[in-house]
Structure 1
């Protein structure tokens, strides 16, 4: 555990983080998150964060060395998509029991599990994750992985991020450290070129990176490695030969980006593929970085031509939604990179932002929001469910964009809701993704169900003595449909 402690302290002293640099020496050692309380839910532990970052590597076997419940609680925890291998969706665990712990059989059971996976699936690599139990009893994961790799002739990567060491965000960074120490740079590509880039922190949720990659392909830019979305082990092992990198979610893999820049001279920038303007800016920044690294400057001109074509198409499609959504009020309860990138994207088409959360957002993210909204009153660190419900029930927003945790708050307040977090079913990145986001917002707001659920219930519309119970608007629609048969018109009935 001493080696793990050194790694954690190294992450806490991350010089690539603006927020970290502003702290004094004592505060820097304490990290970014509050200590976890044993037995309490804290939005995910370090093991969960590491699994989130590494599981989308599609052709790798992810083996959890722990009791069964640890894997059951973390399997398929994001809506990432694969264009090929599906091994990452198969759950592997050593299923450690009380008897294994008492008898000291953990390491032997792990060694046997690695052999079984190799013989049954033949993956290029196996990632091994210890959890709280196996870390506390002292199983030497790194020694077992090293011995198995030598004996079986495949990469066996220890991901040392047991849950008790910290938060999910810390686990994200420890996963990046595992890739840096055991994977990146272990293979040499035979086709390295001046237009190779890495995309870090892109998870390909609902396949949305597939809306961006064709744009890069048209510019002749090759994504050497997209970490972790739809990634292959060989691509990540060769990622050190890229010429530039883009970091999509800095809180997750900023340490990986910085250290790759230090070791292999791969400059990086933080950007977003959400929204028309941000997508165009990301493409420009990629082209400019490649030129600085020796690529032909003509790529700058081709990039501008592509941007002009794609923006014209996107704005033409969005024109149909402008009159329907102009002035509509959106409340964002997300955090991270989406706290500013989605704000900017929605404001481009005339939608008003009444509030956005900045939980897990970096200092740079918050500064961007202040510049966009020009009002700190629309920014909140976090909002309790009761406060969120009060805001929605008072009709201060026309729709809530958030994750699945708060969808029932919106439904209780009879307010449209759209999933914009990792469980979402629609891709929102790039030019086409922006059009799809606006289309989904329009569908949610204009759905006729909201007119019906907001009507008073029939038992709240008590008729006077001797009067017939009045019909609701939705019931009158049905009456119109049958009036030609009965001779009765909707005017014969009252409305709530």
Structure 2
């Protein structure tokens, strides 16, 4: 536990974080969030963050050393996609019981589980995660992993991020530290070149990185490692030979990017592949970093030619949507890099942003939003469900973009909604991804179902009086009396 404490303290003292540098020594020790109590960390703990970050490494076996309930649904983890191996979709757990804890059988059970995975699946590596229970009872995960690696001849990596040590974001960073300590630099590539780069913090949600990689391929730029989206263990082990890096999500892996620059002289920048302008700028910065590291300057010209070609195609496709969407109001209830990158992307086609959440955004993310929106009146840290409902029901937004947790607020307010978070079914990165995002927004806003659900329900309307059969004088006189009492005429009696 002493090594874990030192690792956490190192993460809290992150020099590449501007917000952290602005704190005094006492505030810096507390980190960015309060430590979580054991048993109160479900859904947002350090273990959850570590596993979320590392699970998209597709050929690695992820072993959870814990009671069965600590393992979640691996098949639907964040919507990341793989172009090959599916081992990452399989759940492995030691299924620790009360008897194992009392009898001190945890470490032996862990060693046995590692052996079974090796024999049944033969993965290139196994990642082992302790959780609150196994960390509190003192199982020596690192010693077991070291012994298993020697015995079975494959890397067995301890991911020391039990849930109670902190938030999901802290778990992201501890997972990055584990990659630095045990994986990156563990192998040497035989084909390193001047156009190799790393992409950090890209999860390949719904396969959206596959919309960006062909652009890099056309420029002759090779992605040595995309961490973690659609990655292989060997890719990450050789990531230290890249010439430059792009960081997509700074809140998750800024420590990894900084330390790789210190150890292996890999310069990095933070960028986004959401929106036409940001995608073009990201391609430019990648090319510029490669040239600074020794690549042929002619790549700069090829990059500008590619950008001009792709932008022209994308704007031509978007022209059909501009008249239908220009002036439409969007409420963006998400966070992190999407809080500014998607804002910029939507404003490019004339959509108005009435609000954007910055709950999981860094100080740098918030500054970008201020620059894009020209003020901070449209930023909110967190909005309660009743406030979201009031805003939507009062028609202050034409559509809400958010995650699945708040979709029912929009549906209750009879407002169009589009999934923008990790569970989404459509890729939105790159030039083609921007066109797809706009297409989905157009489909959602102009779906005829919204006109129907906003109409009064049939049971709220009185049945109309029909005049199909001839009436007698007595029936006609009675009808006139009823109409006079109701204050209606025969033309509108009973209509809704």
Residues 43 and 111 of structure 1: is their aligned pair in 2 closer, same or farther, counting only changes over 3 Å?
closer
Deviation at 1:359, TM superposition (A): 1.0
What do the CA deviations read for 1:232-259 (whole angstroms, capped 9, x no partner)? 0000000000000000000000000000
- In structure 2, what is the Cα distance between the partners aligned to 1:108 and 1:18? 44
CA contact (8 A) 2:159 2:178 kept: yes
CA contact (8 A) 1:470 1:495 kept: no
Deviation at 1:72, TM superposition (A): 2.7
What do the CA deviations read for 1:310-336 (whole angstroms, capped 9, x no partner)? 000000000000001011000000010
Residues 472 and 464 of structure 1: is their aligned pair in 2 closer, same or farther, counting only changes over 3 Å?
farther
What do the CA deviations read for 1:63-112 (whole angstroms, capped 9, x no partner)? 00000000136664310000000000011000001110000000000000
Deviation at 1:36, TM superposition (A): 2.3
Residues 114 and 42 of structure 1: is their aligned pair in 2 closer, same or farther, counting only changes over 3 Å?
closer
Q: Which runs of 5+ in 1 are unaligned?
A: none
CA contact (8 A) 1:471 1:495 kept: no
CA contact (8 A) 1:472 1:495 kept: no
CA contact (8 A) 1:463 1:469 kept: no
CA RMSD between the two structures: 6.1
CA contact (8 A) 1:332 1:339 kept: yes
Deviation at 1:462, TM superposition (A): 2.6
What do the CA deviations read for 1:118-168 (whole angstroms, capped 9, x no partner)? 000000000000000000000000000000000100000000000000000
The residue matched to 1:377 in structure 2 has which SS?
coil
CA contact (8 A) 2:35 2:164 kept: no
- In structure 2, what is the Cα distance between the partners aligned to 1:318 and 1:445? 16
- In structure 2, what is the Cα distance between the partners aligned to 1:15 and 1:461? 65
CA contact (8 A) 2:8 2:174 kept: yes
Residues 446 and 473 of structure 1: is their aligned pair in 2 closer, same or farther, counting only changes over 3 Å?
farther
Residues 23 and 469 of structure 1: is their aligned pair in 2 closer, same or farther, counting only changes over 3 Å?
farther
Query: Where does 1:56-205 land on structure 2 (aligned, <5 Å)?
Result: 56-72=56-72, 76-205=76-205
The residue matched to 1:409 in structure 2 has which SS?
helix
- In structure 2, what is the Cα distance between the partners aligned to 1:239 and 1:476? 90
Deviation at 1:492, TM superposition (A): 11
CA contact (8 A) 2:74 2:88 kept: no
CA contact (8 A) 1:402 1:419 kept: yes
- In structure 1, what is the Cα distance between the partners aligned to 2:187 and 2:474? 65
Residues 461 and 362 of structure 1: is their aligned pair in 2 closer, same or farther, counting only changes over 3 Å?
same
CA contact (8 A) 1:321 1:442 kept: yes
Please tell me whether residue 12 in structure 1 is matched to residue 24 in structure 2.
no
The residue matched to 2:291 in structure 1 has which SS?
helix
- In structure 1, what is the Cα distance between the partners aligned to 2:285 and 2:362? 20
The residue matched to 2:75 in structure 1 has which SS?
coil
CA contact (8 A) 1:461 1:470 kept: no
Deviation at 1:471, TM superposition (A): 24
CA contact (8 A) 1:62 1:92 kept: yes
What do the CA deviations read for 1:462-495 (whole angstroms, capped 9, x no partner)? 3577899999999999999999999999999997
Query: Where does 1:450-461 land on structure 2 (aligned, <5 Å)?
Result: 450-461=450-461
Count of residues in correspondence between the two structures? 496
CA contact (8 A) 2:464 2:495 kept: no
- Answer with 1 or 2: which has the greater Rg: 2
Deviation at 1:406, TM superposition (A): 0.3
Aligned to 2:466: 466
Calculate the TM-score normalised by the size of structure 2: 0.94
The residue matched to 1:424 in structure 2 has which SS?
coil
Residues 389 and 470 of structure 1: is their aligned pair in 2 closer, same or farther, counting only changes over 3 Å?
farther
Residues 493 and 228 of structure 1: is their aligned pair in 2 closer, same or farther, counting only changes over 3 Å?
farther
Deviation at 1:461, TM superposition (A): 2.0
CA contact (8 A) 1:198 1:223 kept: yes
CA contact (8 A) 1:172 1:252 kept: yes
CA contact (8 A) 2:355 2:378 kept: yes
- In structure 1, what is the Cα distance between the partners aligned to 2:411 and 2:326? 23
CA contact (8 A) 1:452 1:474 kept: no
Query: Where does 1:316-395 land on structure 2 (aligned, <5 Å)?
Result: 316-395=316-395
Residues 395 and 37 of structure 1: is their aligned pair in 2 closer, same or farther, counting only changes over 3 Å?
farther
Of 458-467 and 285-294, deviating more is: 458-467
CA contact (8 A) 2:322 2:350 kept: yes
Deviation at 1:182, TM superposition (A): 0.1
What do the CA deviations read for 1:264-322 (whole angstroms, capped 9, x no partner)? 00000000000000000000000000000010000000000000000000000000000
The residue matched to 1:127 in structure 2 has which SS?
strand
Residues 453 and 109 of structure 1: is their aligned pair in 2 closer, same or farther, counting only changes over 3 Å?
same
- 4+ residue segments displaced more than 3 Å: 37-43, 73-76, 463-496
Q: Which runs of 5+ in 2 are unaligned?
A: none
CA contact (8 A) 1:51 1:74 kept: no
- In structure 1, what is the Cα distance between the partners aligned to 2:141 and 2:264? 28
CA contact (8 A) 2:74 2:90 kept: no
CA contact (8 A) 1:455 1:472 kept: no
